[in-house]
Amino acid sequence: MAITPGLAETGFFGSFLATFDQAARHTKHNPGLLDQVKYCNGVYRMRFAIRMEDGAIEVVEAFRAEHSHHRTPTKGGIRYSEDVTQDDVMALAALMTFKCALVRVPFGGAKGGVRINPQRCTVGQLERITRRYTAELLKKDFIGPAVDVPAPDYGTGPREMGWIADTYRMLRPHDLDALACVTGKPVEQHGIPGRTEATGRGVCHAIEECVSVAEDMKSLGLEPGLARLRVVVQGLGNVGYHAARTLQERGATIVGVAEREGAILRPDGLDVDEVLAWRRETGSLLGHPGTESFDRPEACFGFDCDILVPAALEGQIHQGNAGQIRARIIAEGANGPVTTEAEKVLLEKGVLIIPDIYCNAGGVTVSYFEWLKNLNHVSFGRIGSGPQHASSAVHFSPASEELEHVRRSLADTMAFAYREVRDTWRSRALPDLRTAAFVLAIDKVATNYEAVGIFP
């Protein structure tokens, strides 16, 4: 996907720095400590050669950034994209630090990026690149169950995470906890049920918590609850699809969706699974029966709706299109989908933005559950007390029981975190939810740095 016009404004990393500085002004921490919390602790840029099927040699550029070691291991996804840059990876790693802090997941933030177009690679090429990238990370101690734990991001998924785990185990055969070196693995390779859907499902829970507050909905001219709300989703990848499907199941009406080929609109509601099936069959969303089609994906920003879920890439909503948005709430399913300039326009219009560092934290929350499962070498619910068993008895639970455990825990985590963010917003009279989320997260990270006594 081409770099969007919005990234030419402040830039993704610049937007993060501006947001951090704005939030930091509402804290009372030492300026030196804030400087420590703001910037990445370590960035590893690498280039490595891969032999292709025809014998040609291709050089691949890749990155791994570790933002904060106030908690270890660090945690964050790996992005495969031709457009990924070192600044992108640094910004995403920083967001991960604050995301983990908000949902009380004991990780520092990290992120990885490999500059390739996965759609133009064969499966064999992707496997060689992934395994070599893993080996390069291991050389510099940028991966390990107690060091840095990757996960999927844009352009990667369970398959790639499985390759990473297998490569790590081959190179560290005596590490009993080797499987905890990466999360988002296939369930058959010691992953956890519910990880694939987690980010999208977490977006739904975030929206559900937001719209349950009658006072806030009244100020937007909306009724509380999902039942009457109309939703537009930009991006039908893993996050967008699961967010749309879960919202639909809980009573919201999906009136529009967009992908790279364009956007479709049906005011009386779409069935997300039918739309996805149509796209798989025809190669495009456009022309889906009963819908109005638009050949520009950004047309979805002008659709009449209550909630807009940008679930694609950063910088999608920028100064050039922010004025078109008709939604009253934006739920950031992607990282950094709204530029700094666009946010000013939207806030002036009275739009409520549910920020990415909270809204899409479902993925890292369930990754935490997977990491714990791998370290403990046992599934959730397998050891526990049954009605006629001692507390140490072995209880064999079906996968469905583990999935329900994960889903309940995710819902509880997102609900608690939203209440903390909103309480910070209101009690400290902060200008918006994003500022409140950053203030809360900065407080948590800075306090932890001070508590562990890192200063000689």
Cα–Cα distances (Å) from 130 to 140, 160, 169, 227, 334, in that order, read 16, 7, 14, 43, 23
pLDDT score at 386: 46
> What distance in Å separates the CA atoms of residue 443 and residue 27, rounded to the nearest whole number?
7
Closest CA to 131 of 179, 171, 177: 171
pLDDT class of 10 with cuts at 50, 70, 90: low
Structure confidence by residue, pLDDT tens digits, 142-162: 999 999 999 999 999 999 999
pLDDT score at 380: 79
pLDDT class of 381 with cuts at 50, 70, 90: low
101-111 burial code (b ≥16 CB/10 A, e <16): bbbebebbbbb
pLDDT class of 395 with cuts at 50, 70, 90: very low
According to CATH, the topology of domain 197-359 is Rossmann fold (3.40.50)
The pLDDT of residue 456 is above 80: no
Out of 58-67, 309-318, 367-376, least confident range: 309-318
pLDDT score at 396: 47
The pLDDT of residue 355 is above 70: yes
pLDDT score at 3: 38
Task: Look up 139 and say whether it is catalytic.
Answer: no
- What are the DSSP calls for 309-358, one per residue? EE-S-TT-B-TTTGGG---SEEE--SSS-B-HHHHHHHHHTT-EEE-HHH
φ, ψ (nearest 5 deg) of residue 354: -85, 110
Structure confidence by residue, pLDDT tens digits, 25-42: 999 999 999 999 999 999
Tell me the average pLDDT of the chain: 91
Angle at 167 between CA 166 and CA 170, to 5 degrees: 85
Mean pLDDT of 440-449: 94
Out of 214-223, 387-396, 408-417, least confident range: 387-396
Report the share of the chain in percent with pLDDT over 90: 87
What is 43-192's CATH number? 3.40.50.10860
Instruction: Label residue 256 left, alpha or beta by phi (over 0 means left) and psi (-120 to 50 means alpha).
Output: beta
- Residue 48 in contact with residue 41, Cβ under 8 Å? no
The pLDDT of residue 390 is above 60: no
pLDDT score at 455: 52
Q: Which of 28, 38, 75, 111 is catalytic?
A: 111
Same fold, 43-192 and 197-359: yes
φ, ψ (nearest 5 deg) of residue 288: -60, 130
The pLDDT of residue 311 is above 80: yes
Domain boundaries, the chain: 43-192, 197-359
The pLDDT of residue 385 is above 50: no
Mean pLDDT of 116-133: 95
pLDDT score at 316: 92
The pLDDT of residue 392 is above 50: no
Q: What is the largest CA-CA distance in the chain?
A: 67
pLDDT score at 7: 45
Closest CA to 316 of 233, 199, 234: 234
pLDDT class of 400 with cuts at 50, 70, 90: confident
Instruction: Tell me the two tokens of residue 391.
Output: 């507390």
Structure confidence by residue, pLDDT tens digits, 242-273: 999 999 999 999 999 999 999 999 999 999 99
Segment holding 113, helix H or strand E: strand 108-114
The pLDDT of residue 62 is above 50: yes
Mean pLDDT of 81-108: 95
> What distance in Å separates the CA atoms of residue 380 and residue 400, rounded to the nearest whole number?
11
The pLDDT of residue 179 is above 90: yes
Neighbours of 266 (CB within 10 A): 18
> What distance in Å separates the CA atoms of residue 242 and residue 236, rounded to the nearest whole number?
8
- At which residue do the structure tokens 């490569």 appear? 167
Cα–Cα distances (Å) from 238 to 79, 103, 156, 185, in that order, read 14, 21, 10, 15
